[in-house]
Structure formats: C-alpha cells, structure tokens
Amino acid sequence: MANIIRIGACLPRLRLERRAMAQAMGWLVPGAGAGRGTRTLAFWDEDSVTLAVAAARGALGRDRAESLTFATTTPPFAEPQNAALIRAALRLPALCLTQDATGTPRATLLALQAALEGTAPALIAAADRPVAPAGSTAESRMGDGGAAVLTGPGAGLFTYLGGASLSAPFLHRTRASGAETALDWEERWQREAGYQAQVPPAIAAALTRAGVEAGAVDHLILPCPIPGTAATVARLSGLTRAALAEDLADRTGDTGAAHPLLMLAAHLPRIAPGQIVVLAQFGQGATALVLRAGEGVADHPGLPALDQGIPESNYLKLLAFQERLDWDRGLRGRFIVQEAQSTAYRNAEALLGFVARREAETGLIRFPPRNDVPGEDWPLADRGGIVATATADRLAYSRHPPNCYGLLDLQGGGRLMMDFTDPEAADLAPGDPVRFVFRVKDIDEHSGYRRYFWKAVRDTGRGL
Amino acid sequence: MASGIKDKVAILSMGCSRFGERWDIGQEELMREAYAEALTRAGIDPAAIGAAWYSSHYDDIGAGKSGVPMAMALSLPDIGVTRVENFCAGGTEAFRGAVFAVASGSVDIALAMGVEKLKDTGFAGLPTASRGTLAPMYLPTHTNPGNFAQLARAYEAVHGIARQDLKRAMAHTSMKSHANAVANDKAHLRKPITIEQAVQAPLVADPLGLFDCCPVSDGAACALVTTPEIARALGQAEPVLVKAVQIVASNGWEAQQQGWNGAYVHTTRQAAKAAYAEAGIADPRQISLTELHDCFSITELVTLEDLGLAEPGTAWRAMLDGRFDAGGAQPCQIDGGLKCFGHPVGASGLRMLYEGWLQLTGQAGARQLGAPHSALTHNLGGAPAQNVCSVTILGL
C-alpha cells in the first residue's frame, strides 16, 4: 500500500462568465449559460496534455515516479499514446510505465486506486478540456483543468486505508470514437439510477475494506454536476458527519477527470491531520477511496489558482479556442504543419523536456543543444528568464492576436527567442521576469496534428 | 595575406526593372526588363558573358529553384548559372559571385541578377520563409515587422528615447524616402507623405506602424561586371570600381548568448568594419551616398549608427535634423530606398548598386547628386538577432 504524497493542480487563467454564455446563446438555446459564476476556459494552446503536464510538475516536486498514468476523456491524440509526451515533458526516466486511461472521468480514481494498492512511486496526471454542443447545459457546467497526484511510500498528505470500485453498463453519456460531443441521457435518471444507486455501494465496500465506520468519515469528495446529489449520496451512505467538499461549479465547472483531485485540493485547508476522507467518483460504476489525513495537510494552501483567474465575457473565445468556429484566418493562417517525426524524435529531449546544453570547453549554454559537443544537459523548464526584447505582432497569424514573442535571457546563461502566451502576453516588456509553461506550439488545421513546446509567461512569483 | 577586391573589378553596366505591383508580368519578364537595360547600356553581345549568378529568395513563388529559370528567361549562351539565396542579402551575394569570378580571371564578363515576384502570394507582406524541420518546432511564428519592432523597443530602451520622439524620427525617415522617390519613375511608391500621417498610421507590430514598413514589390535588377581594363577598352574612361564587398552571417552569438543588447545589429558593424578596411576608408562619413537596407524605418536609424554615419543613440535626432535628407549633409536613400523604390527581396542589393552606379556615372537624372565619388550599399536579411548582412562600396 502507498500513500498520497503530493497534489498538483492547474487551472487555465481565463474564467468565462456564464451570463456571457447565456447572452450569446440564450436566444437560441434556453438552457445556455446554466448555473452561476464562471467556468474555466483553456487558452487556445492549452489542452488536456498541457494541463496535465502543468499539474504534474506541481505534484512531482523534485521526486520521481516509476509510472505515469494520464487520465482524461479528452486526449488530443487517439494515437499515439499521450502519456509518452507527458513523460518526456516531465523528464521522468525512460524506464517508466506510461499509459493513457480514458473512457470515463473515473479513470482518475481507477488509476489512483491501482497506484495506492501498489508500492512503487506513481504519478497520476488527470486533465480534461471537454467540448459540448454550443449553448448546451453541459457546455456551461463543464470546465477545463488539470490535477495530478504523486503516490508512493513515505509520509505525505494522506494514508490510504482501502478502496473499492464497482462497474456498471450505465451509459448516461455516450460519445462515439471520433465524435466531438457527447449525448447525455435524462438527468433525473443519472441522479437516481446512477449516482444514488451506484456510489453508496462503492463507498460501503471501501469503508469495509478500510475498517472504518461510515459515521467516522469527516469529509466526502464527490464530483457531481447535478446540484444536491452529493448530499443525497452522503446521506444514503450513512456519512452522518461528513463535510461535503465544494463542487467548484460556480468557479471552474466540472473539469471531468481532474475534478476529484481539484475538489480535494481546494478542500485541503478544511482537513485536519488524522481526519478520514472519502474520495469518490462516478462513471460506469463508481470508485471510492478511504484516506486518513497526515501531517502534510496542515497549513496546506489548498487551491490558490481559484482566485487568480481573469474574467472573460466573450463566449466566442470558447468556440475559437476549441477550433469550432470557422473564422477568417486569412491566407497567412493557411499553412501545413510539417510533422518531421524523425526530427522531432531525435530532438525530443530538447523540445519536450526543454533541455539545453552547457558546453564543457566554453561554459556556454546553448539551445537547441549541440549534443555532439562535450558538455552536460542543462534543463531549462524550471529556470525561467528575463525578457530581453519583445514584440506584439499584429501581422503574424495567431489564434489570439497579437502574436507575442521575444528574446529571453535564460537564468544561468543562454538566450532563446520564444513565444509568450496567456491573455496578458502583450504586456511583457524588456526586463520582466518569466517562467516557462508547456503548451501547444501549433495545430495543423486539416489533419488536427499538433506539436508542443515551451512558452514564456510572466513570473508573478505565485507559481501559477 | 589576402589583398581584397579593391579596384580589381569594374561595373560595366547595370539595369533595373520598374518596381511595384506588376500584376501583368512574371519573374521572367522582370528579369528581361532589367537585362535589356543593362545590355543596351553596355553595348555588348550577350555571347561575351562568361558566367552568371542569380538571386531569388522564394522558390515556391516566382520561377522555382536552380539557375535554369534565369538561363531560360534570358536565353543565356550555354554558360554556368548559379542560383544564390541569402535572405535579403541575396542580390549582393549574386553580385559578389560575379565579382569574384571576374577577379579570379575565370571570366571576362559576368552577370549578376536579382529578382523577386512577390505579388503572387495573395496577401500583403512577405510570406513566411521556410526554416527547415527543427526551427519551426521551437521558434515563434514571426514576421519581419515583429522582428524589427523588437529592435525599435530595445533601441528606445537602451538609449532612453521617449516613444513620441522615436515615432517622429521614424516618421521623418519614411517621409524623407517618400519625398526622394517622387522623382524616381521606377519606384513603387511615389506619393509624398507627412510626418503626421506616418505617426498616426495603424500599428503593425508595436511601435512600428504601416508607414514604418517597406512595401512588398515585384522587381529585378542586374549588373554586368568586368575587369577595369576591359571596361576602359569598351569606352568607359572612368569606370565605377568595386572597392569592397563584405558579407557577415550571424553565428548564434546574438540569439543564443546574452552579450548583445538588441539595440544595434552586430553583423552590420562587423561587415562595415571589414568593408572599410578593404576599401581603405578611414571615415565613412566621407562616403558620398548610402543606400542602406531600410526594410523598416528603425532599421535605417540603427544602421546609420552601425555604419558609423552617426554616433550610437544619435541617429534619431540627426534624422529629425534633416542630415540624411536629399539636401542634407549625408543623403541617404536618394532613390527612395526599400521604403519607396520597393523591396523585391532577391533584387534589392542589386537595385542599391544600380543607384550607386547611376549616381557615380552621372546618370541619375532628376535626383542626381553633385559630384559623388563613392557609394555604400547595405543589406540586412533575416532578423536583428539572426541575419545576413552585406556591405558593398563602389568608387571611382
């Protein structure tokens, strides 16, 4: 049995206001913009892989893992394995069991259960950037986000006491391979025959295995986009004193595979060492994990990113970022992304891991690295830099003009011309500190093929 | 010890097509237009040409790869034709090839042609040049205005220049070139503009506005070069001689290390230094006229400093004072420059040499300067951080 060592999270900066969604689509679809507050909106260059990488960097710290599971219902690639890209971006050792876990958002807790019931250090990186029909209730309830957890021996946030998973051919949401959006069955049926019928037995079995009484549970973490359902599940499960974790519906929306871990992270400041937590998730059955909080939860900051968003009132950005708007890209926007896979592979350590080289004879740091020159690998991802020159280019094709880029002086030496990203990229000026994030570099409009590289964002010192 | 190119090669003749949006003709016709002028001015049989160099930057538009398109377009006499490509320095690169061929004694007369047919892309501005397979995997999707806007921002930051002062100096730069081009019937843009128009133009890449950017033009220019002896034998009493040709390519220092402050162009300084040494010039301010690579107004300001024509951080003020106007102490871009003559990439280096040759031989018509004795041309291809720079000096 292993423990939960650390949790990492990544929320996109943009928070789309639901009233803007209602205003844009409500004339056509009465349920548009359902709910209150905001939902997270991934920037054009954020997808489930990049959100997973960002979250996993936080979960890993300086530790290493022997396996990596990427849990998502929205993998960018049907083939190849997405986890292979994530491992390379995280620079985990090549001797690593990588796998994608998909089909249900519950893939996250299924992977987590397997990891906790093993002993080796394991990383589960969960993220979703879901797509739903324009104006639908689902679109409003959804959000984009990533969360990750590192498990292994040793003290950390939680000790694993036991868990159970239950499987059911309950098809409340279906989406054929290749289809973009899902079909959701009636909500009351989901609630009553789904959540309320399937989650309590999983919780009961998990508590039995953990040797914990239902009445001893202090906290229940159960993502459910249907209001009030988690409370009913708690009552049906006999969790008489359990506090319910906030579902974050008004702030992030339901982030799918990432959501149980995001809710857990946000709830951490309310959990005291020694308390019992049930972490549960639904989807073609249910999984429940029973955890006992360790000393690591004390003084945990929770999920500060919740309060560090940028309000967005333009619904069309969602459609544009999700590539669902046939906008006028101009002739400059018509280009083919050359896959050049053999080039990409022989430079994978540099491009995905963001590794330069320190040349032995001169001490120079160089990117791209000259790997035929004696020297040592010089990882850049955690170094950050200072803007040397910058531009906001209105002529270059961009999915969020102006296209912002410039020369960066890398901490420790070396210099590189890089893309700046995120909504405030145009504000970056010479002298500003930046840190690096793993993002989509470009997307081929026709094949859908995408490439990844690192970009610069302002370093606020908050570790966002 | 190399002795340099000084006085070993003469310009026998030059030609230049009309620049602009030449919707009616293609790359072949542009070359023939320039070539016909050069042949007529030289009065030679094309059979006397021993070798040719051909500069064209883009090959997905225009006429394609290799020397064959030029050999066919000009019906050259079964000679070697070498296509060169070196960003915006390509025209000068072709010239250098022809000059070296003559200087080596390999041929008596060589042809250098530069051409670009840019207005077959369907959009304004330059198309994105191919960068191989690796670079697009990490470098930003950039444009030239974006690249040179960084030069402007660094220039104002390093020298502490107020944005409004820089904008006015850049506007004056463009206003001056527009005024110069009015008298040039081969120029692309021949309408004068005001400083206010330029200052208030829409931004392309902050702080560069529309009038800070040169146009994208169709055009061709060429040179026939030979030995000074042959030039004299063909009737040129005082032929224009090549005093220096230098080309420097960035080796990664500016873009990969931290020594460069972004407010000047390293290769220009290096190429200028080498060219002045080759030509034996102690003070570049004694050069009669300059045609420099004003792809953007900021490039002209920075290049004036890099060439030693103004002290670092002062060109903007000197520009506002009129020192580089047609009637100023150091006329610059007397033909309108890239800004108004136009910028067909592969041809621009040879277009500048064309103006230098016209001025030195007294054939510049309405824009003829008094009695020039020397001319400097400068090309900058690529971005300030990573580029190819050429400096050529002609003299009598």
Do A333 and A39 touch, CB atoms closer than 8 A? no
Q: What is the pLDDT of residue A337?
A: 86
Q: Do B136 and A338 touch (CB under 8 A)?
A: yes
Give the other-Cβ count within 10 Å of B251's Cβ: 11
- Which residues are A417's β-sheet partners? A407
Q: What is the pLDDT of residue B76?
A: 98
The yes-or-no verdict on residue B129 having pLDDT over 70 is yes
pLDDT digits (tens, 9 = 90+) for A44-79: 999 999 999 999 999 999 999 999 999 999 999 999
Mean pLDDT of chain A: 96
Mean pLDDT of chain B: 96
The yes-or-no verdict on residue A82 having pLDDT over 80 is yes
The yes-or-no verdict on residue B29 having pLDDT over 90 is yes
Do A379 and A354 touch, CB atoms closer than 8 A? yes
Catalytic residue among B57, B178, B293, B343: B343
Q: What is the pLDDT of residue A435?
A: 97
Buried b vs exposed e over A446-462: b needs ≥16 C-beta within 10 Å? eeebbbbbbbbbbbeee
Q: What is the pLDDT of residue A211?
A: 98
Do B250 and B269 touch, CB atoms closer than 8 A? no
- Give Rg (Cα) of chain B: 19
This model of the complex carries an ipTM of: 0.93
Q: Do A414 and B258 touch (CB under 8 A)?
A: yes
Q: What is the pLDDT of residue B314?
A: 98
Percent of chain B scored above 90 by pLDDT? 95
Tell me the torsion sign for CA atoms A186, A190, A192, A197: positive
Percent of chain A scored above 90 by pLDDT? 94
The yes-or-no verdict on residue A464 having pLDDT over 70 is no
Q: What is the pLDDT of residue A62?
A: 92
The yes-or-no verdict on residue A463 having pLDDT over 80 is no
Residue owning tokens 């390093």 = B158
Half-sphere exposure of B233 (CA within 13 A, CB side): 8
The yes-or-no verdict on residue A187 having pLDDT over 70 is yes
Chains A, B: CB contacts within 8 A come to 125
pTM of the model: 0.95
Query: A205: which 2 tokens?
Result: 């079995």
Is B88 an active-site residue?
yes
pLDDT digits (tens, 9 = 90+) for A215-258: 999 999 999 999 999 999 999 999 999 999 999 999 999 999 99
For the residues A199-218, what does the mean pLDDT come to? Answer: 98
Q: Do B153 and A397 touch (CB under 8 A)?
A: no
> Angle at Cα B392 formed by Cα B66 and Cα B259, nearest 5°?
95
Query: A419: which 2 tokens?
Result: 């893309």
The yes-or-no verdict on residue B339 having pLDDT over 80 is yes
Do A199 and A280 touch, CB atoms closer than 8 A? yes
**Of B10, B4, B6, B8, the residue nearest B238 (C-alpha):** B10
The yes-or-no verdict on residue A462 having pLDDT over 90 is no
Q: What are phi and psi of B376, to 5 degrees?
A: -120, 135
The yes-or-no verdict on residue B300 having pLDDT over 70 is yes
Do A434 and A419 touch, CB atoms closer than 8 A? no
Which chain A residues are closer than 8 Å to B121 by Cβ? 331
Widest distance between CA atoms in chain A: 70
Least confident interval from A243-257, A304-318, A448-462, B68-82:
A448-462
Q: What is the pLDDT of residue B248?
A: 98
Least confident interval from B53-62, B193-202, B214-223, B275-284:
B53-62
Do A148 and A125 touch, CB atoms closer than 8 A? yes
Length of chain B in terms of residues written: 396
A112 confidence band (pLDDT: 50, 70, 90): very high
What is the C-alpha to C-alpha distance for residues B91 and A205, in angstroms, rounded to an integer? Answer: 79
For the residues A106-122, what does the mean pLDDT come to? Answer: 98
The yes-or-no verdict on residue A186 having pLDDT over 60 is yes
For the residues B305-328, what does the mean pLDDT come to? Answer: 97
For the residues B286-310, what does the mean pLDDT come to? Answer: 97
Q: Do B141 and A398 touch (CB under 8 A)?
A: yes
Chain B residues at the A interface, defined by Cβ less than 8 Å, are: 121-123, 125, 128, 133-134, 136-143, 145-147, 149-151, 153-154, 157, 203-206, 252, 255-258, 262, 385-386
What is the C-alpha to C-alpha distance for residues A375 and B338, in angstroms, rounded to an integer? Answer: 44
Q: Do A407 and B150 touch (CB under 8 A)?
A: yes
Residue owning tokens 């955690």 = A382
Q: What is the pLDDT of residue A128?
A: 98
Query: How far, in Å, are A99, B35, B98, B108 from residue B75 at the CA level?
Result: 63, 11, 18, 19
